[in-house]
């Protein structure tokens, strides 16, 4: 699950300025620690231009974190000198976001024509900036760590060599484009895409006609059947015509994975990597519930969907099966169980999937739950939802039936341990009291983390939810007295 791009209130943004990452130079604004494990932000737009005079707390930039669309203000009045980054760039916490004109704590450059050469800035001036020679591990020495290469052999890491073997590419015949002639992953994939003959097929790259003739003239010694069995290497080298690579026709659009879509990708990958997912599915008879919700709606003047009743039933079930009202702390190897239910409601928005939260849901009746769901839907649509309503859920419900489909295998909203997907209500034939009846059936799919929840408990919990939905009068009051 992921969070939407919502506009963060100014009071929260002001707190960012008091975060840990600060510059000793008042003319340098370093992107502060955004909190909640957020270490980077996508630059959406600059609200000022270089040379423009700004006031304290004036919005300088809009940045999209994985939780909110943040308006980053100026910590002081001044004149903007430089804006670092273009819309769409990912800025890291601790990176210089913009600078101001005026005096700084660094030595000024000598006046033009003074005859004194400008001295380079001291290495201690910006301790966070280090020369990395274009690598991701810092300053490169004379040798390349973990990069092997001998006379006649390509300079490449073990991972790249393994990739070359998997793709049947002769890595020693490639000309590396990396640092120091190193063969990179891109070099290997390019050679594979261009159908370069490989040693895995018994063919060597043909670089020149002379080299090709020399290889084709190689004499092959007679071999015995035993040798053929013991040695699988090819006994002859023959040229082949290059294979035709199929390329998709038509226009191709490259879409950067940024903002909410990027966060959805990271969060779902995290859930799949860590949780051990399993699902149980069944259908609940909601014929009586449909009648009750219509009667309550007519009496109260408020439109009620099935969802508030499902939420109320789940709150009651979680009281009897607390193993599902929990989160996992993988670093501490602990399971955290909660006495109160804070329900996450998965919602589809224009910005992507989001999970707004109803705190203390188990203390609310059906009508109050319905009002909260409607308010959350409105706030997610206009991107005005507060950040504290986007975190802290202990269980999640996904109402996939509002679109189509019966059953699903929903992915758990990490670090929770359970999620319930409600499908589309349909009319079906059921056997009841010795007879056959047409009933309204609600498909339910409960997915849990098998590390924290046993299969029997998940099945019993789903059975209880179905039973509670079949007795809707008991869902009108709060689950917690």
Distance CA 308, CA 373 (A): 8
> What are 398's strand-pairing partners?
346, 421
Q: Is 70 exposed, middle or buried (0-12, 13-18, 19+ CB in 10 A)?
A: buried
Measured between its terminal Cα atoms, the distance across the chain in Å is: 31
Neighbouring C-alpha atoms within 13 Å toward the C-beta of 271: 24
> Which segments within 93-200 are labelled E, that is strand?
96-100
Q: 337, 320 in Cβ contact below 8 A?
A: no
How many other C-beta atoms are found inside a 10 Å radius of the C-beta of residue 441? Answer: 21
> What are 395's strand-pairing partners?
343
Tokens of 274: 């860590």
Distance CA 431, CA 414 (A): 39
Distance CA 228, CA 233 (A): 8
Enumerate the active-site residues: 450
* CA distances, 269 to each of 279, 334, 351, 411, 414 (Å): 18, 21, 19, 10, 10
């Amino acid at each position: 699950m992921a969070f939407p791009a919502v506009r963060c209130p100014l009071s929260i943004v002001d707190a960012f300025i008091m975060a840990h990452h600060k510059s000793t130079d008042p003319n340098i604004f370093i992107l502060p620690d955004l909190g909640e494990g957020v270490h980077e932000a996508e630059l959406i737009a600059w609200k000022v231009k270089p040379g423009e005079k700004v006031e304290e707390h004036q919005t300088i930039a809009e940045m999209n974190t994985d939780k909110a669309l943040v308006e980053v203000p100026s910590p002081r009045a001044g004149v903007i000198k430089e804006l670092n980054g273009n819309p769409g760039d990912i800025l890291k916490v601790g990176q210089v976001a913009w600078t101001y004109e005026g005096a700084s704590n660094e030595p000024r450059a000598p006046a033009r024509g003074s005859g004194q050469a400008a001295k380079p800035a001291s290495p201690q001036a910006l301790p966070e900036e280090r020369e990395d020679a274009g690598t991701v591990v810092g300053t490169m020495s004379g040798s390349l760590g973990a990069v092997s290469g001998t006379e006649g052999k390509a300079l490449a890491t073990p991972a790249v060599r393994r990739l070359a073997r998997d793709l049947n590419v002769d890595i020693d015949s490639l000309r590396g484009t990396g640092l120091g002639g190193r063969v990179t992953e891109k070099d290997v994939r390019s050679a594979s895409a261009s159908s370069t003959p490989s040693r895995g097929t018994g063919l060597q790259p043909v670089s020149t006609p002379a080299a090709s003739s020399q290889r084709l003239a190689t004499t092959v010694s007679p071999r015995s059947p035993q040798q053929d069995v013991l040695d699988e290497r090819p006994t002859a080298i023959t040229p082949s015509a290059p294979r035709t690579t199929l390329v998709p026709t038509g226009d191709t659009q490259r879409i950067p994975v940024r903002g909410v879509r990027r966060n959805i990708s990271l969060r779902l990958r995290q859930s799949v990597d860590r949780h051990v997912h399993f699902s149980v599915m069944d259908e609940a008879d909601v014929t009586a519930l449909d009648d009750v919700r219509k009667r309550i709606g007519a009496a109260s003047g408020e439109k009620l969907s099935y969802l508030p009743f499902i939420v109320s039933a789940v709150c009651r079930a979680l009281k009897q099966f607390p193993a599902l009202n929990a989160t996992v702390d993988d670093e501490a190897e602990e399971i955290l169980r909660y006495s109160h239910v804070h329900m996450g409601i998965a919602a589809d928005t224009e910005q992507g999937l989001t999970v707004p939260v109803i705190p203390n849901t188990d203390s609310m009746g059906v009508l109050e739950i319905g009002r909260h769901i409607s308010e959350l839907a409105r706030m997610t649509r206009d991107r005005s939802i507060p950040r504290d309503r986007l975190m802290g859920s202990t269980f999640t419900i996904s109402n996939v039936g509002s679109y189509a489909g019966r059953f699903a295998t929903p992915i758990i909203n990490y670090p929770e341990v359970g999620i319930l997907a409600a499908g589309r209500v349909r009319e079906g034939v059921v056997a009841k009291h010795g007879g056959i009846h047409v009933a309204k059936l609600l498909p339910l799919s409960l997915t849990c983390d098998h590390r924290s929840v046993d299969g029997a408990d998940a099945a019993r919990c789903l059975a209880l939810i179905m039973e509670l939905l079949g007795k809707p009068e008991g869902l009108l009051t709060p689950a917690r007295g």
